[in-house]
Structure 1
Amino acid sequence: MRRFVRENSIGLVFGLLFLIVLVGQAYAGLAVFNEAQRASGLPDVAFWRYVTSASFGVDVAENWQSEYLQFFLFIVLTVWLLQRGSPESKSLHKPGRETDEEQKIGPYADEKSPEWARVGGWRTSVFANSLGLVMGLIFLGSWLAQSVAGVAAFNEEQLSERQDPVSWGQYVLGADFWNRTLQNWQSELLAVASMAILAIFLRQRGSSQSKPVGSAHEATGVEG
Protein backbone atom coordinates (compact mmCIF):
# COMPACT_ATOMS: atom_id res chain seq x y z
CA MET A 1 0.00 0.00 0.00
CA ARG A 2 2.81 2.41 0.88
CA ARG A 3 4.46 1.77 -2.47
CA PHE A 4 1.17 2.27 -4.31
CA VAL A 5 0.59 5.61 -2.55
CA ARG A 6 4.15 6.77 -3.27
CA GLU A 7 3.99 5.82 -6.94
CA ASN A 8 0.56 7.38 -7.45
CA SER A 9 0.84 10.32 -5.04
CA ILE A 10 0.20 13.06 -7.63
CA GLY A 11 -3.16 11.63 -8.69
CA LEU A 12 -4.17 10.70 -5.13
CA VAL A 13 -3.24 14.02 -3.51
CA PHE A 14 -4.73 16.20 -6.22
CA GLY A 15 -7.85 14.03 -6.33
CA LEU A 16 -8.28 14.42 -2.56
CA LEU A 17 -7.66 18.17 -2.74
CA PHE A 18 -10.23 18.40 -5.55
CA LEU A 19 -12.88 16.74 -3.39
CA ILE A 20 -12.08 18.94 -0.38
CA VAL A 21 -12.23 22.13 -2.43
CA LEU A 22 -15.42 21.04 -4.24
CA VAL A 23 -17.17 20.41 -0.91
CA GLY A 24 -15.88 23.75 0.37
CA GLN A 25 -17.23 25.48 -2.73
CA ALA A 26 -20.59 23.78 -2.22
CA TYR A 27 -20.95 25.01 1.37
CA ALA A 28 -19.73 28.52 0.54
CA GLY A 29 -22.02 28.69 -2.46
CA LEU A 30 -24.93 27.47 -0.35
CA ALA A 31 -24.34 30.27 2.16
CA VAL A 32 -24.29 32.89 -0.61
CA PHE A 33 -27.37 31.39 -2.27
CA ASN A 34 -29.35 31.36 0.97
CA GLU A 35 -28.37 34.96 1.69
CA ALA A 36 -29.89 35.90 -1.66
CA GLN A 37 -32.97 33.79 -0.86
CA ARG A 38 -33.51 35.60 2.45
CA ALA A 39 -32.97 39.01 0.81
CA SER A 40 -35.76 38.10 -1.62
CA GLY A 41 -38.05 36.91 1.17
CA LEU A 42 -37.68 33.25 0.18
CA PRO A 43 -36.87 30.26 2.42
CA ASP A 44 -33.40 28.73 2.69
CA VAL A 45 -32.66 25.61 0.64
CA ALA A 46 -31.03 22.44 1.94
CA PHE A 47 -27.49 21.38 1.01
CA TRP A 48 -28.47 18.55 -1.33
CA ARG A 49 -31.04 20.68 -3.10
CA TYR A 50 -28.39 23.32 -3.72
CA VAL A 51 -25.71 20.95 -5.06
CA THR A 52 -28.21 19.52 -7.53
CA SER A 53 -29.37 22.96 -8.63
CA ALA A 54 -28.52 24.81 -11.83
CA SER A 55 -26.79 27.54 -9.81
CA PHE A 56 -24.20 25.14 -8.42
CA GLY A 57 -23.92 23.24 -11.69
CA VAL A 58 -23.08 26.30 -13.76
CA ASP A 59 -20.44 27.45 -11.25
CA VAL A 60 -18.70 24.07 -11.39
CA ALA A 61 -19.01 23.54 -15.14
CA GLU A 62 -17.70 26.98 -16.09
CA ASN A 63 -14.48 26.29 -14.19
CA TRP A 64 -14.08 22.78 -15.57
CA GLN A 65 -14.49 23.86 -19.19
CA SER A 66 -11.86 26.60 -18.88
CA GLU A 67 -9.35 24.22 -17.26
CA TYR A 68 -9.78 21.61 -19.97
CA LEU A 69 -9.58 24.28 -22.66
CA GLN A 70 -6.22 25.26 -21.16
CA PHE A 71 -4.98 21.66 -21.27
CA PHE A 72 -6.32 21.07 -24.77
CA LEU A 73 -4.71 24.19 -26.23
CA PHE A 74 -1.41 23.62 -24.43
CA ILE A 75 -1.20 19.97 -25.51
CA VAL A 76 -2.06 20.68 -29.15
CA LEU A 77 -0.31 24.01 -29.74
CA THR A 78 2.98 22.94 -28.15
CA VAL A 79 3.34 20.38 -30.92
CA TRP A 80 4.43 23.33 -33.08
CA LEU A 81 4.94 26.31 -30.76
CA LEU A 82 8.23 26.74 -28.92
CA GLN A 83 9.53 28.93 -26.08
CA ARG A 84 13.28 29.35 -25.88
CA GLY A 85 14.57 28.55 -22.40
CA SER A 86 11.32 27.08 -21.05
CA PRO A 87 10.96 23.53 -19.67
CA GLU A 88 7.35 23.71 -20.88
CA SER A 89 8.60 23.75 -24.48
CA LYS A 90 10.08 21.03 -26.63
CA SER A 91 13.66 21.44 -27.78
CA LEU A 92 14.01 24.14 -30.41
CA HIS A 93 15.11 21.65 -33.07
CA LYS A 94 12.00 19.44 -32.64
CA PRO A 95 8.97 21.45 -33.79
CA GLY A 96 6.08 19.51 -35.28
CA ARG A 97 4.86 15.94 -34.87
CA GLU A 98 8.34 14.36 -35.08
CA THR A 99 9.26 11.19 -36.94
CA ASP A 100 7.83 7.71 -36.37
CA GLU A 101 11.22 6.64 -35.06
CA GLU A 102 11.32 9.45 -32.48
CA GLN A 103 7.75 8.63 -31.42
CA LYS A 104 8.31 4.82 -31.38
CA ILE A 105 5.46 4.18 -33.81
CA GLY A 106 4.89 1.07 -35.94
CA PRO A 107 8.14 -0.72 -36.77
CA TYR A 108 10.02 1.53 -34.34
CA ALA A 109 7.92 0.47 -31.34
CA ASP A 110 9.67 -1.53 -28.62
CA GLU A 111 8.42 -4.43 -26.53
CA LYS A 112 6.92 -2.09 -23.92
CA SER A 113 5.11 0.15 -26.39
CA PRO A 114 1.27 0.14 -26.20
CA GLU A 115 -0.37 -2.17 -28.75
CA TRP A 116 -2.06 0.69 -30.60
CA ALA A 117 1.33 2.35 -31.13
CA ARG A 118 2.56 -0.80 -32.89
CA VAL A 119 -0.35 -1.89 -35.09
CA GLY A 120 -0.48 1.11 -37.48
CA GLY A 121 -3.54 2.33 -39.38
CA TRP A 122 -6.43 4.22 -37.83
CA ARG A 123 -5.80 2.81 -34.35
CA THR A 124 -2.31 4.27 -34.21
CA SER A 125 -3.59 7.57 -35.61
CA VAL A 126 -6.27 7.76 -32.92
CA PHE A 127 -3.86 6.75 -30.16
CA ALA A 128 -1.27 9.25 -31.39
CA ASN A 129 -3.80 12.06 -30.83
CA SER A 130 -5.83 10.56 -28.00
CA LEU A 131 -4.73 12.93 -25.24
CA GLY A 132 -5.70 16.04 -27.18
CA LEU A 133 -8.93 14.43 -28.40
CA VAL A 134 -10.07 13.44 -24.91
CA MET A 135 -9.16 16.82 -23.41
CA GLY A 136 -11.03 18.54 -26.24
CA LEU A 137 -14.11 16.35 -25.76
CA ILE A 138 -14.14 16.98 -22.00
CA PHE A 139 -13.87 20.71 -22.69
CA LEU A 140 -16.80 20.61 -25.13
CA GLY A 141 -18.88 18.49 -22.74
CA SER A 142 -18.17 20.84 -19.83
CA TRP A 143 -18.94 23.88 -21.97
CA LEU A 144 -22.26 22.33 -23.03
CA ALA A 145 -23.06 21.50 -19.40
CA GLN A 146 -22.25 25.09 -18.45
CA SER A 147 -24.62 26.41 -21.11
CA VAL A 148 -27.47 24.09 -20.08
CA ALA A 149 -27.09 24.78 -16.36
CA GLY A 150 -26.47 28.44 -17.10
CA VAL A 151 -29.69 28.98 -19.02
CA ALA A 152 -31.65 27.20 -16.28
CA ALA A 153 -30.09 29.40 -13.56
CA PHE A 154 -30.54 32.52 -15.67
CA ASN A 155 -34.21 31.75 -16.29
CA GLU A 156 -34.81 31.10 -12.60
CA GLU A 157 -33.56 34.61 -11.93
CA GLN A 158 -35.61 36.01 -14.81
CA LEU A 159 -38.80 34.43 -13.45
CA SER A 160 -38.09 35.58 -9.90
CA GLU A 161 -37.91 39.14 -11.27
CA ARG A 162 -41.07 38.59 -13.35
CA GLN A 163 -39.20 38.76 -16.64
CA ASP A 164 -39.54 36.45 -19.63
CA PRO A 165 -37.24 33.40 -19.79
CA VAL A 166 -34.89 32.95 -22.74
CA SER A 167 -34.16 29.97 -24.97
CA TRP A 168 -30.86 28.07 -24.88
CA GLY A 169 -29.84 29.66 -28.19
CA GLN A 170 -30.58 33.16 -26.90
CA TYR A 171 -28.60 32.47 -23.74
CA VAL A 172 -25.43 31.17 -25.43
CA LEU A 173 -25.41 34.27 -27.65
CA GLY A 174 -26.02 36.58 -24.71
CA ALA A 175 -23.74 38.58 -22.43
CA ASP A 176 -24.23 36.46 -19.29
CA PHE A 177 -22.88 33.30 -20.89
CA TRP A 178 -19.90 34.98 -22.49
CA ASN A 179 -19.10 36.99 -19.38
CA ARG A 180 -18.87 33.74 -17.41
CA THR A 181 -16.91 32.04 -20.17
CA LEU A 182 -14.36 34.69 -21.12
CA GLN A 183 -13.45 35.65 -17.56
CA ASN A 184 -12.32 32.05 -17.05
CA TRP A 185 -10.57 31.72 -20.40
CA GLN A 186 -8.44 34.82 -19.95
CA SER A 187 -7.19 33.67 -16.53
CA GLU A 188 -6.25 30.20 -17.83
CA LEU A 189 -4.40 31.59 -20.85
CA LEU A 190 -2.53 34.06 -18.65
CA ALA A 191 -1.53 31.24 -16.28
CA VAL A 192 -0.11 29.12 -19.12
CA ALA A 193 1.86 32.02 -20.57
CA SER A 194 3.18 32.98 -17.12
CA MET A 195 4.32 29.43 -16.37
CA ALA A 196 6.09 29.03 -19.71
CA ILE A 197 7.91 32.37 -19.44
CA LEU A 198 8.70 32.52 -15.70
CA ALA A 199 10.17 29.00 -15.81
CA ILE A 200 12.87 30.35 -18.16
CA PHE A 201 14.44 32.39 -15.37
CA LEU A 202 13.09 30.90 -12.13
CA ARG A 203 13.62 27.43 -10.61
CA GLN A 204 11.95 25.02 -8.21
CA ARG A 205 14.44 22.44 -7.07
CA GLY A 206 13.30 18.87 -7.70
CA SER A 207 10.12 19.79 -9.62
CA SER A 208 9.34 18.19 -12.98
CA GLN A 209 7.96 21.56 -14.04
CA SER A 210 11.29 23.32 -13.53
CA LYS A 211 14.72 23.07 -15.07
CA PRO A 212 17.55 21.88 -12.81
CA VAL A 213 18.70 24.78 -10.64
CA GLY A 214 22.03 25.09 -12.43
CA SER A 215 20.68 24.92 -15.99
CA ALA A 216 21.32 27.90 -18.23
CA HIS A 217 18.42 30.26 -18.81
CA GLU A 218 18.47 29.45 -22.54
CA ALA A 219 18.28 25.67 -21.97
CA THR A 220 15.02 24.56 -23.60
CA GLY A 221 12.94 21.44 -23.01
CA VAL A 222 15.02 20.42 -19.98
CA GLU A 223 13.21 19.28 -16.83
CA GLY A 224 14.52 18.75 -13.32
Structure 2
Amino acid sequence: MRRFLRDNGLSLAFGVLFLGSLVGQALAGVAEFNERRESEGLAAVSLGRYLTSSSFAVDTMENWQSEYLQFSLYVFATVWLVQRGSPESKEEDQVGPESDEDQLVGRHAGPGSPAWAAAGGSRTALFSRSLGLLMGGIFLLTWAAMSIAGWAAFNAEQLTSHQDPVSWLGYLGHADFWSRTFQNWQSEMLAVGSMAIFAVYLRQRGSPESKPVGAAHGDTGQTG
Protein backbone atom coordinates (compact mmCIF):
# COMPACT_ATOMS: atom_id res chain seq x y z
CA MET A 1 0.00 0.00 0.00
CA ARG A 2 2.83 2.40 0.86
CA ARG A 3 4.44 1.79 -2.53
CA PHE A 4 1.11 2.26 -4.29
CA LEU A 5 0.60 5.60 -2.53
CA ARG A 6 4.14 6.70 -3.43
CA ASP A 7 3.90 5.62 -7.06
CA ASN A 8 0.53 7.31 -7.53
CA GLY A 9 1.00 10.26 -5.20
CA LEU A 10 0.48 12.97 -7.81
CA SER A 11 -2.84 11.66 -9.16
CA LEU A 12 -4.10 10.73 -5.68
CA ALA A 13 -3.19 14.13 -4.21
CA PHE A 14 -4.96 15.99 -6.98
CA GLY A 15 -7.91 13.62 -6.72
CA VAL A 16 -8.29 14.51 -3.04
CA LEU A 17 -7.87 18.21 -3.80
CA PHE A 18 -10.49 17.93 -6.55
CA LEU A 19 -13.02 16.29 -4.23
CA GLY A 20 -12.33 18.82 -1.49
CA SER A 21 -12.78 21.69 -3.92
CA LEU A 22 -16.00 20.17 -5.25
CA VAL A 23 -17.38 19.87 -1.73
CA GLY A 24 -16.37 23.47 -1.02
CA GLN A 25 -18.03 24.63 -4.22
CA ALA A 26 -21.22 22.78 -3.31
CA LEU A 27 -21.41 24.23 0.21
CA ALA A 28 -20.59 27.78 -0.84
CA GLY A 29 -22.80 27.48 -3.90
CA VAL A 30 -25.91 26.37 -2.03
CA ALA A 31 -25.42 29.19 0.48
CA GLU A 32 -25.15 31.78 -2.28
CA PHE A 33 -28.06 30.19 -4.20
CA ASN A 34 -30.32 30.33 -1.14
CA GLU A 35 -29.35 33.92 -0.36
CA ARG A 36 -30.43 34.87 -3.86
CA ARG A 37 -33.68 32.92 -3.57
CA GLU A 38 -34.51 34.49 -0.20
CA SER A 39 -33.90 37.98 -1.61
CA GLU A 40 -36.43 37.11 -4.30
CA GLY A 41 -38.98 35.89 -1.72
CA LEU A 42 -38.47 32.18 -2.54
CA ALA A 43 -37.92 29.27 -0.17
CA ALA A 44 -34.42 27.93 0.41
CA VAL A 45 -33.48 24.55 -1.07
CA SER A 46 -31.59 21.65 0.45
CA LEU A 47 -28.03 20.74 -0.47
CA GLY A 48 -29.26 17.63 -2.27
CA ARG A 49 -31.69 19.61 -4.39
CA TYR A 50 -29.02 22.18 -5.19
CA LEU A 51 -26.60 19.46 -6.33
CA THR A 52 -29.18 18.29 -8.89
CA SER A 53 -30.00 21.81 -10.04
CA SER A 54 -29.02 23.39 -13.34
CA SER A 55 -27.28 26.17 -11.41
CA PHE A 56 -24.75 23.77 -9.87
CA ALA A 57 -24.38 21.81 -13.10
CA VAL A 58 -23.62 24.81 -15.28
CA ASP A 59 -21.06 26.23 -12.84
CA THR A 60 -19.28 22.87 -12.70
CA MET A 61 -19.37 22.18 -16.43
CA GLU A 62 -18.13 25.71 -17.20
CA ASN A 63 -14.89 24.96 -15.40
CA TRP A 64 -14.47 21.40 -16.61
CA GLN A 65 -14.90 22.20 -20.30
CA SER A 66 -12.40 25.05 -20.19
CA GLU A 67 -9.79 22.89 -18.46
CA TYR A 68 -10.13 20.11 -21.01
CA LEU A 69 -10.02 22.66 -23.81
CA GLN A 70 -6.71 23.86 -22.39
CA PHE A 71 -5.19 20.39 -22.31
CA SER A 72 -6.52 19.26 -25.68
CA LEU A 73 -5.27 22.42 -27.40
CA TYR A 74 -1.89 22.10 -25.69
CA VAL A 75 -1.53 18.45 -26.68
CA PHE A 76 -2.20 19.26 -30.33
CA ALA A 77 -0.44 22.64 -30.46
CA THR A 78 2.83 21.33 -29.07
CA VAL A 79 3.09 18.87 -31.97
CA TRP A 80 3.62 21.75 -34.40
CA LEU A 81 4.50 24.83 -32.35
CA VAL A 82 7.63 25.43 -30.29
CA GLN A 83 8.76 27.99 -27.74
CA ARG A 84 12.52 28.37 -27.67
CA GLY A 85 13.88 27.88 -24.16
CA SER A 86 10.69 26.42 -22.66
CA PRO A 87 10.59 22.97 -21.01
CA GLU A 88 6.96 22.86 -22.20
CA SER A 89 8.18 22.78 -25.82
CA LYS A 90 9.98 20.31 -28.07
CA GLU A 91 13.29 21.18 -29.68
CA GLU A 92 12.98 23.34 -32.78
CA ASP A 93 14.09 20.51 -35.10
CA GLN A 94 11.40 18.12 -33.79
CA VAL A 95 8.37 19.97 -35.13
CA GLY A 96 5.64 17.62 -36.36
CA PRO A 97 4.62 14.05 -35.46
CA GLU A 98 8.26 12.82 -35.72
CA SER A 99 9.49 9.56 -37.26
CA ASP A 100 8.49 6.03 -36.25
CA GLU A 101 11.99 5.55 -34.91
CA ASP A 102 11.75 8.63 -32.71
CA GLN A 103 8.31 7.57 -31.45
CA LEU A 104 9.23 3.88 -30.94
CA VAL A 105 6.34 2.55 -33.02
CA GLY A 106 6.03 -0.38 -35.40
CA ARG A 107 9.30 -2.27 -35.84
CA HIS A 108 11.04 0.32 -33.65
CA ALA A 109 8.93 -0.57 -30.59
CA GLY A 110 10.84 -1.92 -27.60
CA PRO A 111 10.04 -4.86 -25.33
CA GLY A 112 8.27 -2.57 -22.88
CA SER A 113 6.26 -0.68 -25.49
CA PRO A 114 2.43 -0.86 -25.36
CA ALA A 115 1.05 -3.60 -27.61
CA TRP A 116 -0.75 -1.15 -29.90
CA ALA A 117 2.47 0.81 -30.47
CA ALA A 118 3.98 -2.26 -32.12
CA ALA A 119 0.81 -3.53 -33.83
CA GLY A 120 0.94 -1.19 -36.83
CA GLY A 121 -1.97 -0.11 -39.00
CA SER A 122 -5.11 1.50 -37.61
CA ARG A 123 -4.45 0.41 -34.03
CA THR A 124 -1.11 2.19 -33.90
CA ALA A 125 -2.56 5.22 -35.69
CA LEU A 126 -5.38 5.42 -33.13
CA PHE A 127 -3.10 4.84 -30.14
CA SER A 128 -0.68 7.47 -31.47
CA ARG A 129 -3.42 10.09 -31.14
CA SER A 130 -5.36 8.66 -28.21
CA LEU A 131 -4.44 11.33 -25.65
CA GLY A 132 -5.50 14.24 -27.84
CA LEU A 133 -8.67 12.44 -28.94
CA LEU A 134 -9.64 11.68 -25.33
CA MET A 135 -9.00 15.23 -24.13
CA GLY A 136 -10.82 16.71 -27.12
CA GLY A 137 -13.73 14.31 -26.68
CA ILE A 138 -14.12 15.13 -22.99
CA PHE A 139 -14.00 18.83 -23.85
CA LEU A 140 -16.81 18.47 -26.39
CA LEU A 141 -18.93 16.41 -23.98
CA THR A 142 -18.50 18.85 -21.09
CA TRP A 143 -19.13 21.83 -23.38
CA ALA A 144 -22.35 20.19 -24.56
CA ALA A 145 -23.31 19.48 -20.94
CA MET A 146 -22.58 23.12 -20.07
CA SER A 147 -24.82 24.32 -22.88
CA ILE A 148 -27.72 22.16 -21.69
CA ALA A 149 -27.28 23.06 -18.02
CA GLY A 150 -26.81 26.73 -18.91
CA TRP A 151 -29.94 26.65 -21.04
CA ALA A 152 -31.95 25.19 -18.14
CA ALA A 153 -30.54 27.75 -15.68
CA PHE A 154 -31.16 30.61 -18.10
CA ASN A 155 -34.78 29.57 -18.65
CA ALA A 156 -35.33 29.23 -14.90
CA GLU A 157 -34.24 32.86 -14.53
CA GLN A 158 -36.42 33.85 -17.46
CA LEU A 159 -39.49 32.28 -15.86
CA THR A 160 -38.68 33.82 -12.48
CA SER A 161 -38.55 37.21 -14.20
CA HIS A 162 -41.84 36.43 -16.05
CA GLN A 163 -40.08 36.32 -19.41
CA ASP A 164 -40.42 33.76 -22.17
CA PRO A 165 -37.98 30.82 -22.16
CA VAL A 166 -35.78 30.19 -25.19
CA SER A 167 -35.02 27.04 -27.14
CA TRP A 168 -31.69 25.25 -26.78
CA LEU A 169 -30.60 26.44 -30.22
CA GLY A 170 -31.72 29.93 -29.29
CA TYR A 171 -29.62 29.76 -26.13
CA LEU A 172 -26.55 28.72 -28.15
CA GLY A 173 -26.75 32.05 -29.93
CA HIS A 174 -27.43 34.03 -26.76
CA ALA A 175 -24.87 36.30 -25.11
CA ASP A 176 -25.23 34.44 -21.80
CA PHE A 177 -23.82 31.23 -23.32
CA TRP A 178 -20.89 32.92 -25.01
CA SER A 179 -20.15 35.10 -22.00
CA ARG A 180 -19.87 31.98 -19.83
CA THR A 181 -17.73 30.32 -22.50
CA PHE A 182 -15.26 33.10 -23.24
CA GLN A 183 -14.71 34.15 -19.63
CA ASN A 184 -13.37 30.64 -18.98
CA TRP A 185 -11.47 30.24 -22.23
CA GLN A 186 -9.51 33.46 -21.88
CA SER A 187 -8.23 32.48 -18.44
CA GLU A 188 -7.03 29.10 -19.72
CA MET A 189 -5.21 30.62 -22.68
CA LEU A 190 -3.56 33.16 -20.38
CA ALA A 191 -2.41 30.45 -17.96
CA VAL A 192 -0.94 28.20 -20.69
CA GLY A 193 0.80 31.04 -22.49
CA SER A 194 2.20 32.40 -19.25
CA MET A 195 3.59 29.02 -18.22
CA ALA A 196 5.23 28.50 -21.60
CA ILE A 197 7.08 31.83 -21.54
CA PHE A 198 7.78 32.19 -17.80
CA ALA A 199 9.42 28.75 -17.73
CA VAL A 200 12.01 30.04 -20.19
CA TYR A 201 13.45 32.46 -17.61
CA LEU A 202 12.29 31.16 -14.22
CA ARG A 203 12.99 27.87 -12.43
CA GLN A 204 11.42 25.55 -9.85
CA ARG A 205 14.04 23.20 -8.50
CA GLY A 206 13.08 19.54 -8.75
CA SER A 207 9.97 20.06 -10.87
CA PRO A 208 9.63 18.36 -14.29
CA GLU A 209 7.68 21.43 -15.36
CA SER A 210 10.88 23.47 -15.02
CA LYS A 211 14.33 23.27 -16.55
CA PRO A 212 17.28 22.48 -14.28
CA VAL A 213 18.17 25.56 -12.25
CA GLY A 214 21.50 25.99 -14.03
CA ALA A 215 20.21 25.39 -17.56
CA ALA A 216 20.66 28.22 -20.05
CA HIS A 217 17.56 30.26 -20.89
CA GLY A 218 17.80 29.12 -24.50
CA ASP A 219 17.77 25.38 -23.68
CA THR A 220 14.53 23.93 -25.00
CA GLY A 221 12.69 20.82 -23.92
CA GLN A 222 14.85 20.12 -20.86
CA THR A 223 13.20 19.26 -17.57
CA GLY A 224 14.60 19.32 -14.06
Scaled by the length of structure 2, what TM-score is found? 0.99
| Number of equivalences | 224
Deviation, 1:191, is 0.2
Q: Structure 1 residue 165: deviation in Å? A: 0.2
Any idea what the Cα deviations from partners look like across 1:178-205, whole Å, max 9, x if unmatched?
Answer: 0000000000000000000000000000
Residue 128 of structure 2: aligned partner:
128
- Deviations along 1:51-90, one digit per CA (max 9) or x if unpaired, are 1100000000010000000000000010010000000000
Q: Distance in 2 between matches of 1:73 and 1:135?
A: 9
Summarize deviations over 1:13-59 as a string: whole Å, max 9, x none: 00000000000001111011000110010110000100110000000
Unaligned runs of 5+ in 2: none
Q: What residue identity is the alignment partner of 1:170? A: G
Corresponding residue of 2:19: 19
| 2:203 aligned residue | 203
1:71 is aligned with what amino acid? F
| Aligned-partner Cα distance in 2 for 1:104–1:130 | 16
The structure 1 segments of at least 4 consecutive aligned residues displaced by more than 3 Å after TM superposition are none
Q: Aligned-pair RMSD on alpha carbons?
A: 0.4
Give the match's secondary structure for 1:93. helix
The CA deviation at 1:92 is: 1.4
- Residue 120 of structure 1 and its aligned partner are, at CA, apart by 0.6
Residue type of the partner of 1:136? G
State percent identity of aligned pairs: 61
Unpaired segments of 5 or more residues in structure 1?
none
Amino acid at match of 2:131: L
What is the CA distance between 1:91 and its match in structure 2? 1.0
Displacement of 1:152 in angstroms is 0.3
Residue in structure 2 matched with residue 99 of structure 1 by the alignment: 99
Which amino acid counterpart does residue 60 of structure 1 have in structure 2?
T
DSSP-derived class of the 1:166 partner: coil
Matched residue type, 1:140: L
Paired position in structure 2 for 1:58: 58
1:32 is aligned to 32
Give me the whole-angstrom Cα distance separating, in 1, the residues matched to 2:212 and 2:3. 26
Separation of aligned partners in 2, 1:135 and 1:23: 24
Answering whether residue 208 of structure 2 is matched by residue 223 of structure 1, we say no
1:153 is the counterpart of 2:115: no
